[in-house]
Amino acid sequence: MGKYKYLALIFVLFFIPYYGLFQNFKNTPPDRYYFGSVDNAIDVLGNFDTVRQGFAGRWTRSPNKTTAVSGKSTFLKFEYILIGHIARVIHTDPIVTYYVIRAILSIAAIGIILRMANFSLLPLLFIFFATGITEPWNTWPMRIMDSMPGDTLVFQRLTTAAPHYLLGIILPLLSMYFLSRSRFVIATVFGFVGTFVYTPSMILVIGSLWLLFFYKKQSRGALILYSIISLLPIVYIRYVSQFWDLNLFVKTENIVPFRLNIFQYFFAVGSIFIFSLFSIPEILKKKNPLHLLFLPWIIVHPLGALILSNILSVNASRFFFGPYFVVFGILAYMGIRRFKPLIILLFAILALGSSFISYGASINYTRVCFCNVQFSDYGYPKKDLMDAIFWLRDNTTESDGVLSGPYAGAIIPAFSNNRVYTSFWLRIMDESLFTKLDAMSKQFYEGSMNENEARAFLRNYNMAYVLVGEQESGKGLTYPDLSLTASFGSVRLYKFINTD
């Protein structure tokens, strides 16, 4: 009977977001293409782009935001490159592979959590359901639920979160687990990879070593070496951050600013944080190595969200993607388990009840409204546009640049891997360059360029095809170097015949 209660918890955890996705597929309008994401799917499209680069056989990630800048390739986001290679090897659609790998990572994360919680019901309840993002009242000027990314929400963080966020939970947990068992080599491997995949989580792990360092004198040398090796990827990350696209990406961290004070932090984490404080006497008495790694999180996590985020110039929400809710869930259980059953029950009701406010937003997040304004509907573009992009996928190579507006420019690399002239990403990363490029493309689409100017424009920006849809439509294209290649409803594709 015992195993069924765990299955029931896992079923609830998965059912809520995936039922929403099922309803989205069911309710997709006939003229739309829905690919299993959320309303604002721009980040997912960016991940698809990297997956497709791996599918094309590349081992590094290149920026596909504009052909106007020749960005440098890096190993960042290699987890998505690897997904693409897996799809290529097993001859599976890369988008399908992406979702399958995400599901596997989700199951793996839950399996690790079950083991760390010793298959005990109450800590699992805390971890799964009692540490959601909460707010004290609905009229609060800074509504946390309106500011936090969807992948941090209670029903998403272990199920439909992006693969690198799931790895940002799995790898630190595994690293701490093997550290607690003095398996320093494998712990270091997970630490190194974890820093490469999702640095904020591993910074917190390194910051939590001091208590174990204090109590385990014989392991101090190994812990120091572990810290140095685990943090080495930061050197590479700092190096590549000077590259054009990555340098600009850092600036996007504050497009949707998320900053907390101490009061707001407590509401963001939930009452589970308070219960975690009760575990201090027992952990210091028993000195269990894993729990000695967990306990400092009651200090390092708020420091990361409140202070370190400002020092590193990153959005404070980055510290809510990691395994903090797993750590606090286990600590909270250890803190209250010595009380009488009735008190434990009251604490559990308080923990779950204080998180209940977050459930509605988490449930609604996965459900797509199909109501975003035109050219912001990245989660469900029109079928005519997608048919054109699929034609590009099947009939062109990644070296064939495509001229389009910024809307299609964000979608094309994700589904066809062609480089594009401009995109939504360029708009938010480098507004001055975007404005310049947008003005030239409008001249082209409106027919304001003469024949020689149009030819030079397409050649200079390495354009092989021109897409004309609703965003790009102007007075019509009459340039002699363009040949209509394919037409899909309101979308047309022209091939640039470079006569020189």
User: Which pLDDT score is estimated for 151?
Assistant: 85
Q: What is the pLDDT averaged over residues 25-47?
A: 88
Is the pLDDT score of 326 beyond 80? Answer: yes
User: Which pLDDT score is estimated for 428?
Assistant: 80
- The band of 161, judged by pLDDT with boundaries at 50, 70 and 90, is very high
- The band of 311, judged by pLDDT with boundaries at 50, 70 and 90, is confident
More confident residue, 352 or 289: 289
User: Which pLDDT score is estimated for 254?
Assistant: 64
Task: Flag the least confident range among 83-87, 258-262, 334-338.
Answer: 258-262
More confident residue, 43 or 94: 94
More confident residue, 474 or 115: 115
Is the pLDDT score of 43 beyond 80? Answer: yes
User: Which pLDDT score is estimated for 290?
Assistant: 95
pLDDT digits (tens, 9 = 90+) for 187-199: 999 999 999 999 9
- The band of 257, judged by pLDDT with boundaries at 50, 70 and 90, is low
Q: What is the pLDDT averaged over residues 393-416?
A: 90
pLDDT digits (tens, 9 = 90+) for 410-462: 999 999 988 998 888 888 877 888 889 888 988 898 888 888 888 898 988 88
User: Which pLDDT score is estimated for 133?
Assistant: 61
Q: What is the pLDDT averaged over residues 92-120?
A: 94
- The band of 253, judged by pLDDT with boundaries at 50, 70 and 90, is low
Is the pLDDT score of 141 beyond 60? Answer: no
User: Which pLDDT score is estimated for 476?
Assistant: 67
User: Which pLDDT score is estimated for 142?
Assistant: 45
Q: What is the pLDDT averaged over residues 359-383?
A: 83
Task: Flag the least confident range among 20-29, 164-173, 245-254, 432-441.
Answer: 245-254
Domain boundaries, the chain: 39-366, 383-496
Which tokens belong to 271? 């009452």
Q: Quick check: pTM over 0.85?
A: yes
Is the pLDDT score of 494 beyond 50? Answer: yes
Is the pLDDT score of 249 beyond 70? Answer: no
User: Which pLDDT score is estimated for 7?
Assistant: 83
Averaged pLDDT of the chain: 87
User: Which pLDDT score is estimated for 191?
Assistant: 96
User: Which pLDDT score is estimated for 309?
Assistant: 84
User: Which pLDDT score is estimated for 137?
Assistant: 41
User: Which pLDDT score is estimated for 246?
Assistant: 63
More confident residue, 237 or 374: 237
User: Which pLDDT score is estimated for 183?
Assistant: 94
